[in-house]
Amino acid sequence: MSTRGEATSVATREKARIFVTGSCDGLDQLRDALERHAEIELVGTSIGVAESAAVLTGGHLEVILHGTRSSTLPADEIASIREHTRAPIILLASGEASVLLEEALDADVSDVLLLPQMTENVVFAVRKAGRSAFRPAPGTGAPTRRGRVVTVFSPKGGTGKTVTSTNLAAAFAKFEGKRTLLLDLDLQFGDAAIMLGLEPEKTIYDLVVAPGELDSEKLAGYTTRHPSGLDILPAPVRPEDAELVTETKLSRLLEVARESYDVIVVDTSPFFHGPMLATLDRTDELLLVCGLDVPTLKNVRLALQTLELLAFPQNRIRVVLNRANSKVGMKRSEVESALEVKVRFEVPSDRAVPIAVNRGNPAVLAESGADFSKAIRDMAKGLQPAEVAKSQKRGMFRRS
Ligand SMILES: Nc1ncnc2c1ncn2[C@@H]1O[C@H](COP(=O)(O)OP(=O)(O)OP(=O)(O)O)[C@@H](O)[C@H]1O
Ligand SMILES: [Mg+2]
């Protein structure tokens, strides 16, 4: 019985997504063995870190295995990985490495393994590093809250990203009772606060230029509460301030936000810029907003290809068809076959939306009976972890 139980748990366990960098004796053989291992997904490999920067940043990796030929701690090599990802690092070395082992005790690495090693030992270390990355540091008390990051993206402007993200965040806060943060990452021209009828005094710009380490308390000092219960961290007021919101600052911000909130809804601009890649790295659900028009469809298809190149997991992408009821000579089935991905959520075109936008009161609150509002509330329900798991079992997100 126990053998069967074990077999099932291995089969249903998600594969650990790893990336291999650097070089050392025995690394090639280990990488080949890991590539064939049932519990490992080898997302990619490169000797230098710079050449794989995009995947390291956007690839949602669980663990980085880094081979080093240095007999002391390779601080530069670790720092260059850290420029792109916070994923735990396991150092791999061969030969005489006692100094390296000693120095690694205090360094930002999860483990050091001397090659050759049995593949199972390495897989165990990968699993362990991946899990402990999300645990609180020893002695810090209660387990850390792990909020989910829901990113609303479309490669085309005006498709309804901000309408979707503001209403979805309001629905999470008001109807699902979730501690919700709405983060406006349309850094140059964000209008999430305006759509909520707010004029916040502080923005993400004020937060990132403020001195001192970011923690939950500090974050709370920069957010603004909406009557629905959601907190918003708006985009900078001046477009030129956007560039100060660096990937490193944003990565830290998202980590801290996950400790304070159940859900972080991220509104975005139609570009794959650095902050967007850093956000993808931490995104649990990517809502890809599409419309019933050929140019948007073409760009969403390109975005899906880019996401694949970035090794973003396909099972985290949910296509949202906005204005799905518009009579414009295109059907949902045509969208699905053009994208080769199923539509997960339909949102109807609704007069209540522009009226609500102009009044600065999300339609989901102002017109709760409208078809649009029902669709958004269903979306908020459908994005609860239990519902996501059910849908994935039914294979709803697989390519058609
Ligand atoms: N389902 C809908 N029904 C009716 N109107 C809609 C709907 N979705 C969006 N709109 C209208 O389209 C306009 C543009 O939407 P929105 O601002 O959300 O797009 P966006 O993708 O955020 O654009 P940008 O790329 O410029 O940030 C809104 O002002 C709203 O009036
Ligand atoms: Mg917008």
First to last CA, the chain: 36
| Whether residue 185 has its Cβ less than 6 Å from ligand 1 | no
pLDDT at residue 95, rounded to an integer: 80
pLDDT at residue 100, rounded to an integer: 85
Is 245 a domain residue? yes
Residues 332, 264 share a domain: yes
Which domain, by its residues, includes 120? 13-132
Measured distance CA(9)–CA(216) in Å, rounded: 35
pTM exceeding the 0.85 threshold for the entire prediction: no
CA 237 – ligand 2 centroid, Å: 15
Query: Which ligand has the nearest atom to the CA of 322?
Result: 1
* Residue ending a domain, choose from 102, 132, 162: 132
Residues 168, 128 share a domain: no
Residues 177, 85 share a domain: no
Residues 60, 162 share a domain: no
CB atoms within 10 A of CB 302: 11
- What is the pLDDT tens value at each position of the chain, 400 positions in all? 333 333 334 444 678 899 999 999 999 999 999 999 999 999 999 999 888 887 887 667 889 999 999 988 898 899 888 888 878 999 999 887 778 888 888 788 899 999 999 999 999 999 888 876 544 444 444 445 579 999 999 999 999 999 999 999 999 999 999 999 999 999 999 999 999 999 999 999 999 999 888 999 999 999 999 999 999 999 999 999 999 999 889 989 999 999 999 999 999 999 998 899 999 989 999 999 999 999 999 999 999 999 998 889 989 999 999 998 888 888 999 999 999 999 999 999 999 999 999 999 999 999 999 999 999 999 999 998 777 767 666 654 444 3
Residues 162, 86 share a domain: no
- Amino acid (one-letter) located at 283: T
| Whether residue 160 has its Cβ less than 6 Å from ligand 1 | yes
CA 239 – ligand 1 centroid, Å: 20
Residues 66, 161 share a domain: no
CA 361 – ligand 1 centroid, Å: 14
The structural domain count of the chain equals: 2
Tokens describing residue 38: 């049932």
In 3D space, the residue among 179, 182, 176 whose CA is nearest the CA of residue 162 turns out to be: 182
Spell out a b/e string for 124-140, using b for 16 or more CB atoms within 10 Å of the CB, else e: ebbbebbeeeeeeeeee
Is 303 a domain residue? yes
Q: Among the atoms of ligand 1, which is closest to the Cα of residue 270?
A: 25
Residues 100, 162 share a domain: no
Residues 213, 173 share a domain: yes
| Whether residue 357 has its Cβ less than 6 Å from ligand 1 | yes
- Domain of 167: which CATH number? 3.40.50.300
Measured distance CA(169)–CA(380) in Å, rounded: 8
- Among 188, 353, 378, the mutation site with the greatest number of ligand 1 atoms within 8 A of its Cβ is 353
Is 185 a domain residue? yes
* Residue ending a domain, choose from 132, 161, 186: 132
Q: Please report, to the nearest 10 degrees, the dihedral formed by the alpha carbons of residues 68, 74, 79, 85 taken in order.
A: 30
3-class SS of residue 66: strand
- Domain of 29: which CATH number? 3.40.50.2300
Q: Are strands 231-233 and 224-225 parallel, antiparallel or unpaired?
A: antiparallel
Is 143 a domain residue? no
DSSP secondary structure, 314-363, as one string: GGGEEEEEETTT--SS--HHHHHHHHTS-EEEEE---THHHHHHHHTS-H
pLDDT at residue 143, rounded to an integer: 46
Nearest C-alpha to atom 30 of ligand 1 is from which residue?
Answer: 354
Residues 158, 69 share a domain: no
| Whether residue 156 has its Cβ less than 6 Å from ligand 1 | no
| Helices assigned H by DSSP within the chain | 2-12, 27-36, 53-58, 75-82, 98-104, 119-132, 161-175, 192-195, 204-209, 216-220, 247-260, 274-280, 294-309, 332-339, 352-359, 363-366, 371-382, 385-393
Query: Which ligand has the nearest atom to the CA of 155?
Result: 1
Residues 47, 154 share a domain: no
* Residue ending a domain, choose from 132, 162, 184: 132
- Amino acid (one-letter) located at 220: A
Is 140 a domain residue? no
Measured distance CA(244)–CA(394) in Å, rounded: 43
pLDDT at residue 393, rounded to an integer: 61
pLDDT at residue 133, rounded to an integer: 58
Is 4 a domain residue? no
Spell out a b/e string for 180-214, using b for 16 or more CB atoms within 10 Å of the CB, else e: bbbbbbbbeebebbebbeeebeebbbbbbeeeeeb
Residues 205, 97 share a domain: no
Measured distance CA(41)–CA(308) in Å, rounded: 14
Query: Which ligand has the nearest atom to the CA of 290?
Result: 1
Measured distance CA(267)–CA(204) in Å, rounded: 13
Is 120 a domain residue? yes
| Whether residue 354 has its Cβ less than 6 Å from ligand 1 | yes
Positive or negative: CA dihedral 36, 37, 41, 44:
negative
CA 154 – ligand 2 centroid, Å: 9
Residues 63, 170 share a domain: no
pLDDT at residue 7, rounded to an integer: 38
pLDDT at residue 59, rounded to an integer: 62
CA 270 – ligand 2 centroid, Å: 8
Is 30 a domain residue? yes
| Whether residue 228 has its Cβ less than 6 Å from ligand 1 | no
| Whether residue 162 has its Cβ less than 6 Å from ligand 1 | yes
